[in-house]
Amino acid sequence: MRTVNSLIGSPIERLEDLRFLRGRGQYVDDLARKDMLHAAILRSSVAHGRIRSIAVAAARALPGVHSVITAKDIGNRVPRVPMRLQPLPDFEPFGQPVIAETKVRYVGEAIAVVLAETAAIAEDALGLIEVEIEPLPAVADRRASAQDASLLFEDKGTNLAIKFRAVRGDAAAAFADAPYVRRESFRTQRHMALPLEPRGLLAEWDAARGRLTLSGGAKVLFFNRRTLAKQMGLPESAIEIVENDVGGGFGARGEFYPEDFLIPFAARHTGRPVKWTEDRREHLMCVNHAREAECDVEIACKRDGTILALRGHAYVDVGAYMRTNGAVGARNVAQFMSGPYRIPHIDVDVALQLTNKTPVGTYRGPGRFETDFFRERLLDMVAQDLGLDRVEFRRRNLVSQREMPYQIATITPFESKDEFDSGDYQTTLDRCLDEIKWTEKSKLAGKLIDGRYHGLALGCFIEGGAAGPKESARIVLEPDGLYSVYVGSSAIGQGLETAFAQIAADALEVTIDRIRGVFHGSTCYVDDGYGAYHSRSVVMGGSAMLDAAKNLREAIRAQAAQRLGCQPSEVEIVEGSKAVGPGGKSIALNGLSSEGISAEGAFLNKKHTYTYGAHAAHVAVDAKLGHVELVDYVVVEDCGRIINPLTVHGQAIGSVVQGLGGAMMEHLVYDQEGQLLTGSLADYLIPTASDFPNIRAIVMGDHPSPINPLGAKGAGEGGIIAAGGVMANAVANALSAFGAQPRELPLTPTRVWELAQAPRK
Amino acid sequence: MEPRLTLADCLRHHLRLTGTHVGCEHGVCGACTVIVDGAAVRSCLMLAVQAEGAEVVTVEGLSNDADLTPLQKSFRRHHALQCGFCTPGMITTAHALLSEEPDCDAARVREVLSGNLCRCTGYIPIVEAVLDARAAYQPKGRDRSGDRA
Amino acid sequence: MKLPPFDYACPTTLPEAVQLLATSNGDAKAIAGGQSLVPMLAFRLAQPSLLVDLRKLPDLRGIRISAKGVTLGAMVRWRDIEDDERLDTAHPLLKAAIAHVAHYQVRNRGTVGGSLAHADPAAEMPGIAMTCDAEIAVVGKSGAHVIQAADFFQGALTTALTPDEIIVEIRLPAWPAGRRWGFEEFARRRGDFAMAAAAVFYDQDANGKAHNAHVGVIGVADRPLRLPAVEDVLNGRAIDATIIAKAEAAASAAVDPQDDIHASAAYRRALVGTLVERALKRAAA
């Protein structure tokens, strides 16, 4: 048996695995209710157009169809999907109606909901709905968007949702005097999180009690409950949102989507439980897209490689609407373009351009993947121009430990100031170089060996975490002496139950088997919760749990003191199982209270943690096939205090592979009419087991965060952030004989082949 | 039973064996893999009526209450799952492979698992877990525990 | 993505199966392994009124090897080819090509006949059929007949089969010992449809000159192609580096691929050359 206080930092095998490995997880589509109706959603096949008519009679007449819902059935004003983050008034006009009213603005937008006795009949009925749409010119990309020739929102007179600007120092003055300036343009492609479990919802309306239960929640249950309560005209207390086992999130899953209104509405409308399970084609065209960004940037340096300033313009294609967290990626492109580097003067703006494509939202490392590609590519070009070693150039400009906390560019109009909390960025870089054997492998750079060109590259990153403002936890000492832990955080497959059991057991000074369970995923467990995004669950929820444990121990002491006839301060809790008073008089905790003792805790925080690290890659490029083999890949990150090395290592590896997908293959392709051409998993390619077998992750915990009691930082995004830049730099290095300079992702065979078409130097 | 019912939906919604997961319904993701007459197949690409008279083994059939099986233990030890959604398909596929080829090497494991998508783990721990479980599939009298590819 | 409604029949004799197909106004589909058809149904790209399951038909599952060549029953699965060690010598090109087909689970159900009938322009089996001058034996309401591979593939997902016809077997001509061959494929990921692939073989005379050269490619047109211009470069010549370079250029010149979401036309043209070059190097090695 393990001794107490040793769980944090131990590679505890996960508690969740016991059910998942036996096929006993319970995901939302596993649920069934008596009398349940199945929903299917008719979606626009036109990217931009005005709805002339919707005829549902034939669908409604199909045997097995219960009803068909369109905007007309919803009420006077169709609710909009709100902005959860950066809820600026500027975004309000661009909100998405939960069902198309007068216009459709992207392929996949909901037009009608069919409710039927089986999912198959519901789908049959979709084909019987006749929709007449007068097509309007599709706005297919950010350039067309900026021309404002065809407007998504005519009343607004512009397709520009907003411009953010990131400023630090005086970039104009710094550029005026700069001895060296380079200007470049880069582009990253639209791709997406693609969790393996499609979304799903099961809504149950209890008419007698006026209560709604919605299963299938994830990530931000409490925000979604607030939103849904408003939209349905219900008190928040009348709604319970339940999170089942969740098959991956990565930022996209659990945001408030149109269906999060439509399915509960349908349940109330029909008076029967309604289940909707998204299919993969719907997923590809309805769940938030991400990452479609371009930039024209300039960097100013001294000849010795000291970076003086960075300025420029970025453009993000945000799709057809501004919804929930759709501004985060763009904001981050501007604010984090400087990455972990000391750049005294910054002036970068970013235009959020609306187009007739699926709306965007966050995907793991939002904005950071894009901007790391821009910056790390630019840094390699500068190093080459100035004849500097790529490593030394970066080393010279990394923010140093003595500069912490280090203030980064401020974003307007949101006035978002931010600073790096702590760390020694040189150490992760050094470790990364050691692990990849940089010096030894440098000899291979650009060499043609057995028909393949070898390339080597590195890149550095920072990863924000711990978004505030608050997280809540509650711990209950049950009558039988075991502890139950309730948290407002969400599990999306990241192993939250195990990590929280470790934290709680250590805080309560008990062994892990005394934790009966970690209960999360319902809006009825704690008063409020903020969810799982921005690498915040462990940092925020874990810190709240420390507070709850402290409060619970106090409550236990107080109750025991009464029974032992002494002061609470005289009571000592031993091994979490008994309370000992003066003179060794003791009472077992399992007999302390017949209804259990409960204590709440919270953690409030306005600052962010910054995990940091470095990636390095060794590739071998078959220039004639345009094929890039990953020979070796190393990610080193320091994420502060590590709760579970097994899971944090797993997160790092998984994150890298997603990043390699974005670097090499994943691409949501649209044509000029706004049609999505990659509507199946045969066309939208993600990495498989045979693509990237050689990846190593080293997670360090040398520099705990000073801004939370756990000392933890966010983990899980670092692996993805630098992958695009590093792979592009590795290919550039491999194909240096051709003067290859990738400026666009993904590095498809066609693109890599094109890079090698220039005459060899 | 309607002819259009896939084996996957039949297992999940008619027999309520929800361990078999459905991730794409068009034969790419492998989450719905089950073993039909000894061979791993995608149950979303097979009609339930086509399984007439066949023996179908799902993840539930490869599990017991008492303890995790050696393959499942290996997955847990190697942290070869995160969200758990692809896991039943990985377990059934790996079981079919190891039953047929207990001496398969890392390249073969990767090749076989390339028909099963996982979005969490990056596959590396899954491949390690399968290799590490080979010992349990050796004919009696042979033990290759500790043998690595 | 639930399948559209259809009726289902599982006949036990070939005439019965033909009869079912013939009496449904061209609206029925035969289903073998279902690995191509079921995804089409899931996307509702195919909505047949009736599926005729071939799984109980006798005599469609065998691999026969004789002096005349290799005969694959229509219901032979990829897995059966993979497991049949006789094919290592009886038809190594077939075996090498089939190693690229799809994934483990699909290989346990996908069939030779199903692939031919589906006629995906990037599929390996149609490519081998074209390259090797295969004969495809079919049965329909007018009886049995044989279709030459060159006449069988008529476009993307389009074949010479009439709605009532079922593929019975495919016959690949005999493979002499000593034949030189190579197969090269490039796909975005393992098991994906080929971006392109090249299958080549030729026989050598006593002077080391090539004759009977066959060069086939997939993934670059609406159907598998033979490239006679490349074969002309090879026939009557010793296959050395110069000839291989000429063949590479001839292959690129002989195809006219289109841009698609996975590759540009220019890339695919170059890729075909590269794959022919590499297949020939392998053949000549």
Question: Domain containing C49 — which CATH number?
Answer: 3.30.43.10
Per-residue pLDDT tens for A145-188?
A: 999 999 999 999 999 999 999 999 999 999 999 999 999 999 99
Contact B47 C10 (CB under 8 A): no
* Nearest alpha carbon to residue C234 among C251, C250, C210: C210
Alpha-carbon distance B26 to C46, whole Å? 13
Q: Taking the CA of residue A366 as centre, how many other CA atoms within 13 Å lie in the half-sphere pointing to its CB?
A: 25
* Domain that includes residue A697, residue range: 289-466+607-755
Same domain, A614 and A594: no
Interchain pair A194, B119: CB under 8 A = yes
Q: Is the peptide bond before A413 cis (omega within 30 degrees of 0)?
A: yes
In sequence order, the 6+-apart residues with CB closer than 8 A to the CB of B142 are: none
Domain match, B41 and B85 both: no
Q: Decide if C1 is inside a domain.
A: no
- Which is it for the CA torsion B101, B107, B111, B116, positive or negative? positive
Classify residue C2: in a domain, yes or no: no
| Helix (H) or strand (E) segment spanning residue C172 | strand C166-173
- B144 domain residue, yes or no: no
C237 domain-assigned: yes
Contacts of C189 in chain B (CB under 8 A): 114
What CATH number has the domain bearing residue B127?
1.10.150.120
Residue B116 and residue B100 share a domain: yes
Does residue C55 contact residue B50 with C-beta atoms inside 8 Å?
yes
| Angle of helix B87-100 versus helix B106-113 axis, rounded to 10 | 130
Quick one: closest CA in C to B94, which residue?
A: C104
pLDDT digits (tens, 9 = 90+) for B16-61: 999 999 999 999 999 999 999 999 999 999 999 999 999 999 999 9
Task: Examine the pLDDT at B148 and tell me if it is beyond 50.
Answer: no
Closest by alpha carbon to A477, among A597, A559, A557, A594? A597
Subunits close to B (at least 3 CB pairs below 8 A): A, C
In whole angstroms, give the CA distance from residue A468 to residue A543: 12
C186 touches chain A (CB under 8 A): yes
Q: Which residues contact A58 (CB under 8 A, 6 or more apart)?
A: A128, A129, A130
Q: Looking at residue A656, what DSSP letter applies?
A: H
pLDDT surpassing 80 at residue A4: no
Q: How high is the mean pLDDT of chain A?
A: 95
Query: Are residues B70 and B55 part of one domain?
Result: no
B17: chain A residues, CB-CB within 8 Å: 23
Residue B1 lies in a domain: no
Question: Is there a domain that residue C58 lies in?
Answer: no
Last residue of a domain, one of C143, C173, C203: C173
Cβ of A662 under 8 Å from any chain B Cβ?
Answer: no
User: Rounded CA gap, A563 and C122, in Å?
Assistant: 80
The span from the CA of B148 to the CA of C4, in Å, is 47
Which of A84, A110, A114, A88 lies closest to A97 in space, CA to CA?
A110
Q: Does some domain include residue A185? A: no
**Neighbour subunits, C (≥3 Cβ pairs < 8 A):** A, B
Output the six-digit token pair for C63.
Answer: 């691999």
The identity of residue A176, as a single letter, is A
Give the three-state DSSP class for A315: strand
Distance CA(A755)–CA(B51), nearest Å, equals: 50
Tell me the CA end-to-end span of chain B in Å, nearest whole number.
Answer: 46
Is B98 inside any structural domain? yes
Q: Which residues of chain B does A22 touch, with a Cβ-Cβ cutoff of 8 Å?
A: 19, 59-60, 63, 68, 72
Count of CA atoms in the C-beta half-sphere (13 A) of A337: 37
Confidence grade of residue A15 (pLDDT, cut at 50, 70, 90): very high
* CA separation, residue A198 to residues A103, A152, A247, B21 (Å): 27, 28, 8, 11
Tell me which of C173, C194, C227 is where a domain ends.
C173
Pick B124's closest partner by Cβ from A22, A493, A695. Answer: A695
Is the CB of residue C101 less than 8 Å from the CB of residue C124? yes
CB A69 within 8 A of CB A268: no
Task: Yes or no: say if B93 and C105 are a contact pair by the CB < 8 Å rule.
Answer: yes
Quick one: pLDDT at residue A467?
84
**Domain ends where: B45, B61, B77?**
B61
Which among C8, C3, C141, C124 has a CA at the least distance from the CA of C72?
Answer: C124
For A300, the enclosing helix (H) or strand (E) is: strand A293-301
Instruction: For chain A, give the number of residues.
Output: 761
Residue B56 token pair? 């179908």
Q: What pLDDT score does A492 carry?
A: 78
Is C160 in the same domain as C210? Answer: no
A373: pLDDT strictly greater than 50:
yes
| CA–CA dist B48, B44 (Å, integer) | 9
Instruction: Read off the tokens for A120.
Output: 């198959």
Is the pLDDT at C47 greater than 80? The verdict is: yes
User: Residue A148: inside a domain, yes or no?
Assistant: no
Across the interface, which of C1, C5, C189 has its CB nearest the CB of A685?
C189
Chain B residues with CB-CB distance to A658 below 8 A: 119, 122
Answer yes or no: do B40 and B91 share one domain. no
Domain boundary among A563, A579, A604: A604
Residue A673: left if φ>0, alpha if ψ -120 to 50, beta else—which one?
A: alpha
Backbone angles phi, psi at A670, to 5 degrees: -115, 150
The tens digit of pLDDT for each residue in A415-436 reads: 788 999 999 999 999 999 999 9
Kindly state whether residue A347 falls inside one of the protein's structural domains: yes
Tens of pLDDT, residue by residue over C217-263, are 999 999 999 999 999 999 999 999 999 999 999 999 999 999 999 99
Q: What is the CATH number of the domain that holds B21?
A: 3.10.20.30
Measured between CB atoms, which of B6, B41, B114 is closest to C191? B114
Averaged over A454-463, what is the pLDDT?
Answer: 97
| Chain A neighbors (3+ CB pairs < 8 Å) | B, C
Mean pLDDT of A131-147: 98
B45 and B93 within one domain? no
> Per the domain annotation, does B73 fall within a domain?
yes
Looking only at the bridges linking them, the beta strands covering A597-604 and A470-477 are antiparallel
Token couple for B146: 């500790």
* Same structural domain, B72 and B124: yes
CB atoms A625 and C261 under 8 Å: no
Taking the CA of residue B143 and the nearest CA in chain C, the distance in Å comes to 26
Segment C82-97, tens digit of pLDDT: 999 999 999 999 999 9
Cβ of C8 and B39 within 8 Å?
Answer: no
Helix (H, G, I), strand (E, B) or coil at A534: coil
Total structural domains in chain B? Answer: 2
Cα A200 from Cα A277, distance rounded (Å):
4
In this structure, the number of other CB atoms found within 10 A of the CB of residue B65 comes to 5
And the tokens for A135?
Answer: 């097509």
| Token pair belonging to A312 | 């420029």
**Does B112 map to a domain?**
yes
Phi-psi region of A549 (alpha: psi -120 to 50; beta: other; left: phi over 0): alpha
Domain match, A709 and A568 both: no
* Contact across the interface for A124 and C4, Cβ inside 8 Å: yes
Least confident of A232-241, B100-109, B134-143: B134-143
Q: Which residue has the higher pLDDT, A641 or A495?
A: A641
Do C95 and C161 reside in the same domain of the chain?
A: yes
pLDDT in tens, C135-165: 999 999 999 999 999 999 999 999 999 999 9
* C-beta atoms surrounding A268 within 10 Å: 18
Of all residues in chain A, the percent with pLDDT exceeding 70 is 99
Based on the domain organization, do B74 and B115 belong to the same domain?
yes
Phi, psi of A72 (to 5 degrees): -55, -35
Residue A453 lies in a domain: yes
Check if the beta carbon of residue C172 is closer than 8 Å to that of residue C216.
no
As a whole number of angstroms, the distance between CA A96 and CA A40 comes to 20
Helices (H) and strands (E) in chain C, counts: 12, 14
What is the residue whose two structure tokens read 């939250």? A496
Distance between CA B20 and CA B33 in Å, rounded?
Answer: 7
Q: Nearest-CA residue of chain C relative to B25?
A: C1
What is residue A1's predicted lDDT score, i.e. its pLDDT?
A: 39
- Counting beta carbons within 10 angstroms of the beta carbon of residue A483, is it exposed (0 to 12), middle (13 to 18) or buried (19 or more)? buried
Is A193 domain-assigned? no
Total of domains in chain C: 3
C105:B6 CB<8 A: no
Going by C-alpha positions, the residue among C178, C156, C152, C179 that lies closest to residue C165 is: C152
* Pairwise CA distance, residues B3 & A69, whole Å: 29
Task: Report the percentage of chain A scoring pLDDT > 90.
Answer: 90
The reply to whether residue B111 touches residue C190, judged by beta carbons under 8 angstroms, is yes
Residue A405 preceded by cis peptide, ω within 30: yes
Taking an 8 Å cut-off on Cβ atoms, the answer to whether A688 and C43 are in contact is no
Q: Is the pLDDT of residue A744 over 50?
A: yes
- Cβ-contact B36, B54 below 8 angstroms: yes
In chain A, count of helices (H) and strands (E)?
A: 20, 34
pLDDT tens readout for residues B51-99: 999 999 999 999 999 999 999 999 999 999 999 999 999 999 999 999 9
* A184 located within any domain: no
Integer Cα distance of A606 and A418 in angstroms:
10
Q: Is A744 found in the same domain as A637?
A: yes
Residues found in chain B: 149
Which secondary structure element, helix H or strand E, spans residue A270, and what is its range? Answer: helix A259-270
3-class SS string, A470-503: EEEEEEEECCCCCEEEEECCCCCCCCHHHHHHHH
The partner residue sitting opposite C5, judged by closest CB among A124, A281, A625, is: A124
Specify whether A547 is located in the same domain as A563. Answer: yes
Domain range enclosing C12: 7-53
Instruction: Locate A414 and state its tokens.
Output: 């949101």
Same domain, B78 and B100: yes
pLDDT at A344 over 90: yes
Residue type, C7: D
**Contact yes or no for C72/C159 (Cβ under 8 A):** no
Q: With CB atoms and an 8 Å threshold, state whether B27 touches C38.
A: yes
- Which residue pairs, CB below 8 angstroms and at least 24 apart, start in A413-418? A413/A88, A413/A90, A413/A162, A413/A164, A414/A86, A414/A88, A414/A164, A414/A331, A416/A331, A416/A335, A418/A335, A418/A464, A418/A608
A154 part of a folded domain: no
Q: Which of C80, C101, C104, C111 is most worth mutating to test chain B (most B CB atoms within 10 A of its CB)?
A: C104
- C135, C158, C173: which is the final residue of a domain? C173
Asked if B82 and A495 come within 8 Å (Cβ–Cβ), the reply is yes
| Partners of residue A553 on adjacent β-strands | none
* Residue-wise pLDDT tens digits, C51-74: 999 999 989 999 999 999 999 999
Residue A693 sits at the chain B interface (C-beta within 8 Å)? yes
- Put simply, whether A655 touches B (Cβ < 8 Å) is yes
DSSP string, A627-680: EEEEEEEEEEEE-BS-S-HHHHHHHHHHHHHHHHHHHHT----B-TT--BS--S
Q: Which residue has better confidence, A520 or A344?
A: A344
Q: Dihedral sign for Cα A657, A661, A662, A668, please.
A: negative
pLDDT in the model for residue B149? 38
Can you tell me the distance from the alpha carbon of A87 to that of C64, in angstroms, rounded to the nearest whole number? 70
What domain range is B30 assigned to? Answer: 7-61
pLDDT of residue A529: 82
Q: Please, what sign has the CA dihedral across residues C139, C142, C143, C144?
A: negative
Same-domain pairing of C199 and C259: yes
**Residue type present at position A190:** R
**Backbone phi, psi, residue A59, to 5°:** -65, -45
Instruction: Indicate whether C157 and C113 sit together in one domain.
Output: yes
Report how far Cα A324 is from the mean position of its chain's Cα atoms. Answer: 13
Residue A3's pLDDT is what? 52
> Which chain A residue's Cα is nearest to B64?
A22
How many domains is chain A partitioned into structurally? 3
Amino acid at C89: T
Q: How far is it, in rounded angstroms, from Cα A509 to Cα A749?
A: 55
C-alpha closest to that of A512 among A520, A504, A523, A522: A504
Q: Please check the confidence at residue A2 and state whether its pLDDT lies above 90.
A: no
